[in-house]
């Protein structure tokens, strides 16, 4: 996966510059923050793994160094690990900007239009039937995230994905807002400061395609960040949100052609890193469809036709 992550970072920076995409991109790095010394020291093994396999090395900070770098952290926090190469953005602004760029390039975007089934001849998909009529094409890309298993019959293969339900709370940016995104591994909560907001997110709920927002899960987000920050959240909630992550057992995305329809390509199973791997996945998909040399090794992601 590191190839997709590394490529996506470069592609993001290229796209944002060329298309002038305003999505609150910030190169502030990432902090892992810990309550006690044993947990802080225990992260050293993770850091060694990141350094060996991904060429990423963090800086271990004691309490004084951490609060100097990020004054919004409480003095009682024992320390953290800082990864300065990381960056973050506001996802909904990114999606709005992507839509703008695609429309400027005369891409036909159909919203509120449900997919139904393929019309096919032999191993070839001729069109896809939708609630808005048929769409004919030479090639089809099924980037359906956690909903992909619902298309197993059409695709002719098992899709080993489960929806992993995550939650988030979005607030206005607080007066004493952090500038660096943080992960709190001991409480399994993430905090993302944005120019126009402030977001808490986490949890992993395996409850199928349940659409209920459970108040208890949202409370876990608030409680999980309180031991770390001077102003952990605001009084006004702008958005309570949930989403299904496409969780796959081996952590490796599926980017492969359907065994039943040779001009249908499936791209899914990015677990919790869909946004992080998105640009490189899109580039790889285009290369595989066009027959061009792939910029990353593709064989590891071609899982549908090994069975």
Phi, psi (deg, nearest 5) at residue 119 = -100, 125
pLDDT at residue 54 in the model: 82
pLDDT at 136: 97
Per-residue tokens: 186: 């001991």
Q: Do residues 282 and 296 touch, judged by C-beta distance below 8 A?
A: no
Q: What percent of the chain has pLDDT over 90?
A: 95
pLDDT category of residue 305 using cuts at 50, 70 and 90: confident
Q: What is the mean pLDDT of the chain?
A: 96
For 2, 8, 154, 199, 253, the CA distances from 5, given in Å and listed in that order, are 5, 5, 30, 22, 12
| Residue 306 pLDDT greater than 90, yes or no | no
Q: What is the pLDDT of residue 55?
A: 84
CA–CA gap between residue 242 and residue 261 (Å, rounded): 33
Is pLDDT above 60 for 307?
no
Find the largest Cα–Cα distance for the chain.
67
- DSSP letters, 20-63, are T--S--B---EEEEESSHHHHHHHHHHHHHHHHHH----EEEEH
pLDDT tens readout for residues 236-293: 999 999 999 999 999 999 999 999 999 999 999 999 999 999 999 999 999 999 999 9
Q: What percent of the chain clears pLDDT 70, i.e. is strictly above it? A: 100
Task: Output the pLDDT for position 74.
Answer: 97
CB 170 within 8 A of CB 195: no
Split at pLDDT 50, 70, 90, the class of 204 is very high
Which one is predicted more confidently, 1 or 90?
A: 90
Mapping DSSP to helix (H, G, I), strand (E, B) and coil, where does residue 130 land? strand
Distance CA 171, CA 239 (A): 7
Check residue 29 and give its pLDDT: 97
How confident is the model over 111-127, as pLDDT tens digits? 999 999 999 999 999 99
How wide is the angle at C-alpha 28 spanned by C-alphas 182 and 233, nearest 5°?
40
For the record, the structure tokens of 21 come out as 């995409």
pLDDT for the residue numbered 167: 97
φ, ψ for residue 284, nearest 5 deg:
-65, -40
Please count the residues of the chain.
Answer: 307
Give pLDDT, residue 142. 98
Q: Which parts of the chain are beta strand (E)?
A: 30-34, 59-62, 79-83, 115-121, 124-130, 133-136, 140-142, 161-171, 182-184, 189-194, 197-205, 239-248, 254-257, 264-268
How far apart (Å, rounded) are the C-alpha atoms in residues 195 and 36?
Answer: 30
- At 53, the pLDDT band (50, 70, 90 cuts) reads confident
- Nearest Cα to Cα of residue 286 among 6, 9, 11, 1: 11
How far is it, in rounded angstroms, from Cα 287 to Cα 268? 16
């Amino acid at each position: 996966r590191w190839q997709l992550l590394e490529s996506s970072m470069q592609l993001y920076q290229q796209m944002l510059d060329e298309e002038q995409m305003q999505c609150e991109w910030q190169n502030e790095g990432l902090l892992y923050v810990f309550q006690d010394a044993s947990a802080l020291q225990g992260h050293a093994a993770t850091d060694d793994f990141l350094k060996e396999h991904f060429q990423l090395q963090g800086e271990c900070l004691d309490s004084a160094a951490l609060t100097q770098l990020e004054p919004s952290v409480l003095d009682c926090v024992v320390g953290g690990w800082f990864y300065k190469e990381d960056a973050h953005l506001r996802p909904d602004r990114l999606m709005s900007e992507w839509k703008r760029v695609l429309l400027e390039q005369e891409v036909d975007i159909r919203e509120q239009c449900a997919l139904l089934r393929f019309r096919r001849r032999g191993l070839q998909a001729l069109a896809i039937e939708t609630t808005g009529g048929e769409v004919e094409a030479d090639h089809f890309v099924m980037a359906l995230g956690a909903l992909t298993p619902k298309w197993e019959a059409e695709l002719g293969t098992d899709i080993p994905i489960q929806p992993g339900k995550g939650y988030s709370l979005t607030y206005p940016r607080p007066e004493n807002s952090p500038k660096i995104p943080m992960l709190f591994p001991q409480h399994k909560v993430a905090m993302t400061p944005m120019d126009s907001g402030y977001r808490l997110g986490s949890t992993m709920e395996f409850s199928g395609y349940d659409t209920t927002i459970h108040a208890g899960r949202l409370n876990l987000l608030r409680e999980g960040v309180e031991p770390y920050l001077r102003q952990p959240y605001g009084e006004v909630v702008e958005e309570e949100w949930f989403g299904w992550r496409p969780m796959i057992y081996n952590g490796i995305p599926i980017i492969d052609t359907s065994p039943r329809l040779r001009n249908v390509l499936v791209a899914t199973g990015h677990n919790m890193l869909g946004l992080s791997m998105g640009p490189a996945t899109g580039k790889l998909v285009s290369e595989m469809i066009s027959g061009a040399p792939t910029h990353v090794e593709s064989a590891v992601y071609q899982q549908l036709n090994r069975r």
